[in-house]
Structure 1
Amino acid sequence: MSVLADLDPTRPLVVVTGASSGIGAEIAVDLAQDRTVVAIGRDDARLGQVAARAAAGAIIPLVLDLGDPAGIEAALTALPRVDAVVHGAALLPHTTAETATVDLWRELLDVNVVAPAELTRVLLPRLRDTRGSVVFIGSGASRRAAAGHVVYGATKHALQAYADALRQEVEPDGIRVSTVSPGPTATAGALAAEGLTRDEDGRRILPTTVARSVRHVIDAPADTQITEVWVRPRVELR
């Protein structure tokens, strides 16, 4: 973990989870234009490909199992500073109330809710120092659950509730808490959950569009916080 400890403490630093693909990867590349990004994911090769899209040293790949609370704390307490954390990691399987097993419920709750909560807890001291930002990548399912995604919808509702409560708790510390909730997005994972291999009608949001919304939230003037952003397709899918 010496690489993390040796980072420039004067350069703004953002932690991005789910950074090996999809929305998380685009967020990491976008923010690396003017920040150091610690890009967390499970696939070392793909993280390396994401890092290669930015200037040398702007993206620091970190392979980390978000299901391991002890590993999260051991890895990230070495960071010299944290100005923002963006929680992009999530699982999105197609499930119904009848087919969802106990093991699947536990897996999605761990990755989609418990992991971001634990990561936030570990990073709160650094975020207090910088009066930083916590950004959760939500979903249309954060407020309106859909048939066929019963477990995912439940976890996104839980994550929204956590974000709303966290905002109240850390307000005295000057920490900003936001949820950016994209609608149908043209990522491999989201398409696969719909049984698709590509965005056939071209009506889904691009991951780069979501990344721009995240930047908008993090770059908001110091006298405000943008608590929720709903990023919907120009023409709604039905």
Structure 2
Amino acid sequence: MTPSYPSSRPVALVTGASRGIGRAIALDLGRTHHVVLVGRDRASLESTQGELPDASVLVLDVADEASVDAADLPEEVDVLVHSAGVSGGTTVAEEDRAHWRTTFEVNVFGVAHLTARLLPAVRAAGGTIVLINSGAGLFSTPGGAVYSASKFALRTFADTLREEERENGVRVVSVHPGIVDTEMGHGAISDGGHPERMLQPETIAAGVRAAVDAPPEAQFEMMSIRPSLSPKG
């Protein structure tokens, strides 16, 4: 089914919009934007669509190059949010090459490819690109080589894109949450992640909203969002 984008509202395209952080961002931006909900699960996307006043669904696998190239994308995008991602992994000694490839296809290559496809649309709107990264994109821990390497690569991608697009009026924001109360966040703790107090997805969405609503002469280049309190014993 071909999506439809007619709307008087500015357009926000959010990947990973069916759950977790992506869904929370979509619901927040939906207060002011027409939201293009991107993900692989049509039923979940349509459920989120039902909670929004103005939204459309685009079923897309960001790791699938042909899927991205065949997609019917908006001609102008005021906000592009990359929230789709995968985590997990083990030690370098135990890791297999297939997982390295899969992780980078979703967390890096898919992001770079979809961004390139949408850059003319973001430039046309003088828009903002938000990349949901991780604390793992700032520091690494044992057992996190694959995920952390992909997030460090994503951070470098964001830094380079920001400088390339600065003169085109495009803002690029890299958001690095701590552990969030999502399926992925709970998986990180069960895999031996730091048992810090969890953030709520809506908290990350509030940070994204602040970046999107910043005056046009300014941008949040890198945002680290961590719990304000220590875990209770």
Please state which band the TM-score falls in when normalised by the shorter chain: over 0.9
Whether 1:132 aligns to 2:131 is no
**TM-score, scaled relative to structure 1:** 0.91
Instruction: Give the aligned partner of residue 71 of structure 1.
Output: 67
The one-letter amino acid paired with 2:202 is T
Q: What is the root-mean-square deviation in Å for CA atoms of aligned residues?
A: 1.8
Q: Distance between the aligned counterparts of 1:98 and 1:36, measured in 2?
A: 46
Instruction: Give the aligned partner of residue 199 of structure 2.
Output: 205
Q: Among residues 226, 231, 236, which one is paired with 2:220 in the alignment?
A: 226
SS in 1 for 2:88: coil
Is the contact made by 2:38 and 2:57 (CA closer than 8 Å) also made in structure 1?
yes
Map of 1:49-128 to 2, 5 A cutoff?
Answer: 49-55=47-53, 58-77=54-73, 79-128=74-123
Stretches of structure 1 lacking an aligned partner (at least 5 in a row): none
Q: Distance between the aligned counterparts of 1:104 and 1:195, measured in 2?
A: 19
The one-letter amino acid paired with 1:88 is S
1:127 deviates by: 0.9
**TM-score, scaled relative to structure 2:** 0.93
1:202 deviates by: 8.5
1:3 deviates by: 2.7
Runs (4 or more) in structure 1 with deviation over 6 Å come to: none
Stretches of structure 2 lacking an aligned partner (at least 5 in a row): none
Q: Distance between the aligned counterparts of 2:94 and 2:76, measured in 1?
A: 43
* Per-residue CA distance 1:39-91 (angstroms, 9 max, x = gap): 11111111122112222xx22122111122232132144x1321110000110
1:111 deviates by: 0.1
The one-letter amino acid paired with 2:93 is E
**CA spacing shift, 1:179–1:236, aligned 2, 3 Å:** farther
Is the deviation greater in 205-214 or in 63-72?
63-72
The one-letter amino acid paired with 1:43 is D
Q: Distance between the aligned counterparts of 1:179 and 1:152, measured in 2?
A: 16
SS in 2 for 1:194: helix
Is the deviation greater in 213-222 or in 65-74?
65-74
Q: Distance between the aligned counterparts of 1:48 and 1:3, measured in 2?
A: 12
Is the deviation greater in 14-23 or in 93-102?
93-102
**CA spacing shift, 1:212–1:192, aligned 2, 3 Å:** same
Instruction: Give the aligned partner of residue 149 of structure 1.
Output: 144
Q: Distance between the aligned counterparts of 1:156 and 1:139, measured in 2?
A: 7
**CA spacing shift, 1:175–1:149, aligned 2, 3 Å:** same
Give % identity: 38
Q: Distance between the aligned counterparts of 1:149 and 1:49, measured in 2?
A: 33
